[in-house]
Amino acid sequence: MSSTERMSSNPGFLPGHSDQLQLLMRAVECARNGIVITDPSRTDNPIIYANPAFSQLTGYANEQIIGRNCRFLQRDDREQPAVKELRDAISKEVPITTILKNYRRNGSHFWNELTVSPVKDEHGKVSNFVGVQNDVTARIDSEKRVQEFYSVISHELRTPLTSIHGALTAVEDGSAGRVNAQVMRLIRIAVDNSTRLMRLINDILDWKQLEAGKFKLNLANFDPQEAVESVVHELQATAEGKMVILVPEILPHHPILADQDRIVQILSNLTANAIKFSPPKGIVKIRLEAPARDTIRFTVTDQGPGIPPAQMDKLFVRFQQLDSSDTRKKGGSGLGLAICKAIVELHGGNIGVSSQVNEGSSFWFEIFS
């Protein structure tokens, strides 16, 4: 049976509608994706049709393709997990999309994003399989380079930086002996900048886990006041260095079920931002309250320049920073607020901000218990 005759048996095309059949044939022939049709009623489910894009993708001429099983593209590389998944889907007559390592006629490999779908006749019996091929080699190679980049950050940068930061901190707190005031000033600059670098590296690694869906929460019941106290203790010296006053406001509240370390991370990020944008002698308030019996709300309020309404949509978006002159010079990775939003949402909570230009901003997030 010819490919045109097979298409004419499709109930979507009425008898005599040759124009529709010709249109479908031209569409398949002109498609940029490789398309093959196989016949499972024949031994080894051979290819009975291949469009020009498939020949262009693989380097094989049409006469070298027709009558062969698609496995010839795998050569001797048939232990791939995706191959077994493909075989199982075909045997069960269910659709599948997977990525295979295939080989062109010249021996070069490419990554093939293959979608195989069963085609049923008017009786509901599978008469053919159609396979759509998409060369995703560039995407896979790019993802591999990104993975290598993350690996370098994690092992080649974070590990030595942690040691450097620890050594500098030991000098700063006097554990390594007394130093004069001039040296101490330089040490504190180095500590501040190594802390910034560590935060940037951790943000990048956290975002990688969030994107990959591998970010896990360690949930436990705890008193949220502990999170506020931890952040105040962590950032007190930073606030004093910027001549900013940290004020915790602890209102009646109750325990929550959450990841305490991540709640501290969110609150620390919001508070560090508030300190960064606050004027000298400005006040940053960290408020804890329970607006409902099942809700804990944290709010960080500053007296900074505020956020123009036109800039609001850039908040909580990865790699976005506000571009006014007051904020650009403050720097940052552009990941902090996006990570905060993602972690809050993993908890099932909400996060937001209210702000007035020249009157400051209030960033808040709620966790439901």
pLDDT in tens, the chain (369 residues): 444 444 444 443 444 567 888 888 899 999 999 999 999 999 999 999 999 999 999 999 999 999 999 999 999 998 899 999 999 999 999 999 999 999 999 999 999 999 999 999 999 999 999 999 999 999 998 888 877 777 777 777 888 888 898 899 899 888 888 888 889 889 988 888 888 788 888 888 888 788 778 788 999 999 999 999 999 998 998 899 899 999 999 999 999 999 999 999 999 999 999 999 999 999 999 999 999 999 999 999 999 999 988 888 778 876 555 554 344 345 455 688 989 999 999 999 999 999 999 899 999 999 997
Q: Count of CB atoms within 10 A of residue 366's CB?
A: 20
b/e 156-174 (16+ beta carbons within 10 angstroms → b): eebeebeeebebbbebbee
Letter for the amino acid at 262?
R
CA distance 149 to 144: 9
- Surface-to-core class of residue 8, CB atoms within 10 Å of its CB (0-12 exposed, 13-18 middle, 19+ buried): middle
Nearest-angstrom CA–CA distance, 342 and 345 = 5
Give this prediction's pTM: 0.59
C-alpha 39/C-alpha 99 separation (Å) is: 22
What are the structure tokens assigned to 302, written together?
A: 């500053």
Q: For residue 87, what are its two tokens?
A: 């075989």
Residue 261 CB: number of other CB atoms within 10 A?
Answer: 12
Closest CA to 105 of 166, 63, 146, 43: 63
Pairing of strands 283-292, 245-250: parallel
Residues 6+ apart with CB under 8 A from 194: 161, 164, 165, 168
The number of residues making up the chain comes to: 369
Cα first-last separation, the chain? 65
Provide the residue type at 294 as one letter.
Answer: D
Q: 295-329: string of b/e by CB count within 10 Å (b at 16+)?
A: bbbbbbbbbbbbbeeebeeebbebeebbeeeebee
Rounded distance, CA 343 to CA 264, Å?
11
